[in-house]
Amino acid sequence: MKAPDFFAKLPNESVNVTHQRPLRSFFKLLSRISLLILGLYLLLALITRAGVNFISHDQERALFEYRARAEAAQQPSIWPDKAKIQSLVDKLLAHYPATRPDWIFSTCSKDANAFAAPGLRLIVTSGLLNQIQTEIGLSLVLAHELGHIHKQHALKSLGSEVAWALLTTLLGLQDDTIAGQLSETTSLLSSLSFSRDQEREADAIAIEMLLATYGHLEKSEEFFELALKEKENSAVNFTILSTHPDTAERLERIKKHPRYKNNTPTLVSSEWTAPKPPASCN
């Protein structure tokens, strides 16, 4: 019988030393956590986005009424030309049925801009009113914002904000309440950024609204032409450029529209004078 082979050797002293690289493991873990958070955010954004689709205009109105009333209280008490903007909005909506904004506000700013804020709020800057000279030019800007309001884009873009607030609260990354965060978000107009698809949708509604109202689009491009002309002029900042699709592309879409030309000029009132911003803005 042969004795089993036996080789004496020293014990393996590196048995407690990991063969894995700790830094590599750390980054692996970090990337997995990041992916998990991203997935959770996308899921929450999807849920909240789907959720806001079920919010009616009436519910939207009710949800943001407190904020709109607070904003109304801060509005200048004397703004005679607000009626002109209201009647232009009514004229557009009489020809193209869409949601009527509950509130028309002005904000003093050099920037030529207009906003559609959640709660059926239409906001125009004094910079816009100081620049636009034609009825159809202002109509295009207003109709675009009416498109955003009708499609509840502001509320929908808030969906991802809600998801973000929910996620950061769940992860304990911030101490503020969701309500606090939301009210802060909705108070900041700059945080209302619409997607390119939403911008295109608002543009398409604006074009249809103008065609239904005026029968053509001629000279409605005033805002874009002003924007392109003034691009280099730092005195007037067309901030709308940064949030909206390419100005030249939008201008071309209007000018190349088969129904661009005004074949019945009598339809455009020559009496129209541009509404002025509140005197307190000057």
What's the min distance (Å) between Cβ of 65 and Zn ion? 23
Residue type present at position 280: S
State the minimum distance, in angstroms, from the CB of residue 188 to Zn ion. 16
Give 132 or 202: the residue with its C-beta nearer to Zn ion: 202
Cα–Cα nearest to 281, from 141, 129, 68, 134: 129
For Zn ion, the binding residues in 202-221 under the rule CB under 5 A are 202
Exposure class string for 184-197: b at 16+ Cβ within 10 A, else e:
ebbeebeebebeee
Q: What is the 3-state secondary structure (H, E, C) of 119-137?
A: CCEEEEEHHHHHHCCCHHH
- Specify the residue, 140 or 165, whose C-beta has the smaller distance to Zn ion: 140
In whole angstroms, give the CA distance from residue 48 to residue 194: 16
CA distances from 68 to 65, 97, 98, 122 (A): 5, 23, 20, 11
In the complex, what is the shortest distance from the CB of residue 98 to Zn ion, in angstroms, rounded to a whole number?
A: 15
Instruction: State residue 94 phi and psi, 5-degree precision.
Output: -70, -25
**In angstroms, what is the minimal distance from the CB of 116 to Zn ion?**
7
Site string (163-202) toward Zn ion, x via CB under 5 A: ------------------------------------x--x
Complex with Zn ion: residue 79 or 121, whichever CB lies closer:
121
- The footprint of Zn ion on this chain (CB under 5 A) covers a number of residues equal to 2
Proportion of the chain in helix, strand, coil states, percent, rounded to 5: 55, 5, 40
Of 82 and 151, the one with the shorter C-beta distance to Zn ion is 151
Q: The sheet that has 103-107: what strands, in order across it?
A: 103-107, 121-125, 114-117
Tell the smallest beta-carbon distance from residue 158 to Zn ion (Å): 15
Beta strand ranges found along 12-163 (DSSP E): 103-107, 114-117, 121-125
**Adjacent-strand bridge partners of 190:** none
CB of 148 to Zn ion, least distance (A): 6
- Closest distance of CB 99 from Zn ion, Å: 15
Name the residue nearer to Zn ion (CB basis): 167 or 205: 205
Q: Which is nearer to Zn ion, 200 or 276 (CB)?
A: 200
Please tell me whether residue 70 adopts helix, strand or coil conformation. helix
Q: Please say which residue, 31 or 242, places its beta carbon nearer to Zn ion.
A: 242
**Positions in the binding site for Zn ion (CB under 5 A):** 199, 202
